[in-house]
Amino acid sequence: MTAEPDRNGGAATAVPPLRVDLFLVAGLFPGATPAGTLRAAADYAIAAERAGFDGVWLAEHHFSTYGVCPSAVALAAHLLGRTARLRLGTAAAVLSTRHPVALAEEAALLGAVSGGRFDLGVARGGPWVDLEVFGTGLDRYGHDGFAAALDLLLAGLSGAHTLRGDGQRFPFREVAMMPVAQRRTPVWVAATGPPTVQLASARGLPLLLGMHDDDAAKAAMVQHHAGAADGVPATGHASAHLAFVADTVEDAEAVLRRTMPAWLAAARASVRLDGSSSPRRDPGDYLEHLLATHPVGPPARCVQRLRATLAVTGVRRLLLMVEGGGDPRRTLTNIDRLGREVLPDLRNS
């Protein structure tokens, strides 16, 4: 760790080393199959370890081509067995459709067999048909239901040997936790708005900040988290970014404008539980927002933009979404170039 002066004039504080991870959505691009996409995601994780990344985070989606991985935990288990050094994380397991005790058991299992290389990120998700299919309903998506599930998950990962339900949403008798969590599994909360930020803050949990927000919006969420409680410094949070290296800005943007709009449009097809529709950002407009704010283009530009994120938000963990090129060979090249041409300079930040 290095030290930097406190911004309020106090003593110098330790700054954690920068960690840079991949963020894999496993999106289904034109011409690909779901099985091929998942095999490619595994290849990307192995390439990330070779390229010098610190970890890989896996998205989870149901019934959507936007992401074809229905269980980030299962894919993380597979990749923990195929890598030696990487940390594997979920970004994020959808807690609203899972029983929190089952998820705690799986997280404890992966922590045990991997020597502590597993990070558990959880999300509220959305009011989608998933809640109907898995039988959890809108109550589990609501703030109180999500909070109750999160508390039970944390209790299951606390190292306690037994666990009892709360008598309301989770009415069950005392049971033995097996395996008992032998080491603390890091738990992160994906947040897109103040209620979830406050919930994470109240429980001392760090945030997973999505790539849809720019640096200013992320900094505001980090400040809101700090204002709600006093458990996690800004350096404890993680920030996700679209990342694509090319020789020129024009080359990078041309590729992403060809490949990404059709994929981004798949997010608009999610079926709401109540049958209603909500306004969604146009895929083309959203892509232009991403191009204007994320590390896309020559290596020096990527480093500059990521350094700006570190300075504005205070985070010390970056998650780079590398699949935007839409083609496995192009993505593997992107991972390799990020490792060789971006990470060394960035780590000097």
Q: Domain with 190 in it: what CATH number?
A: 3.20.20.30
Q: CA nearest 30: which of 318, 184, 258? A: 258
Pairing of strands 93-94, 118-123: parallel
- Report if pTM > 0.85: yes
- The range of the structural domain enclosing residue 62 comes to 17-346
CA 150 from centroid of its chain's CA atoms: 17
Q: How many CB atoms lie within 10 A of CB 159?
A: 13
Is 136 within a domain?
Answer: yes
**Could you report the per-residue pLDDT of 217-230, keeping only the tens digit for each?**
999 999 999 988 76
Give the pLDDT score at 10.
47
Give the total number of structural domains in the chain.
1
> Within a domain: residue 146?
yes
DSSP state of 260: H
Flag whether 50 is in a domain.
yes
Question: What is the per-residue pLDDT across 98-139, written as a single tens digit (0 to 9) for each?
Answer: 999 999 999 999 999 999 999 999 999 999 999 999 999 999
- The answer as to whether 3 is a domain residue is no
Q: Is residue 2 part of a domain?
A: no
How far is residue 314 from each of residues 4, 5, 31, 66, 217, measured CA to CA in Å?
12, 13, 40, 30, 13
pLDDT at position 7:
42
Other beta carbons less than 10 A from residue 247's beta carbon: 11
Phi and psi of 13, rounded to 5°?
Answer: -115, 150
7 occurs within a structural domain: no
What CA–CA distance (Å, rounded) separates 60 from 120?
Answer: 12
Residue 194 lies in a domain: yes
Q: Are 191 and 208 in contact (CB under 8 A)?
A: yes
What does the pLDDT read at residue 14?
76
Whether 1 is covered by a domain: the verdict is: no
- List phi, psi (to 5°) of 255: -65, -50
Question: What does the pLDDT read at residue 12?
Answer: 52
Q: What is the pLDDT along the chain (349 residues), one digit of tens a residue?
A: 554 444 444 445 678 999 999 999 999 999 999 999 999 999 999 999 999 999 999 999 999 999 999 999 999 999 999 999 999 999 999 999 999 999 999 999 999 999 999 999 999 999 999 999 999 999 999 999 999 999 999 999 999 999 999 888 999 999 999 999 977 789 999 999 999 999 999 999 999 999 999 999 999 999 999 988 767 899 999 999 999 999 999 999 999 999 999 999 988 778 888 876 555 689 999 999 999 999 999 999 999 999 999 999 999 999 999 999 999 999 999 999 999 999 999 998 6
Say if residues 79 and 111 touch (Cβ distance below 8 Å): no
DSSP-based three-state secondary structure for 215: helix
Q: Checking DSSP bridges between strand 2-4 and strand 13-15, what pairing results, if any?
A: antiparallel
57 beta partners: 23, 89
- Would you give the distance in Å from CA 40 to the centre of its chain? 19
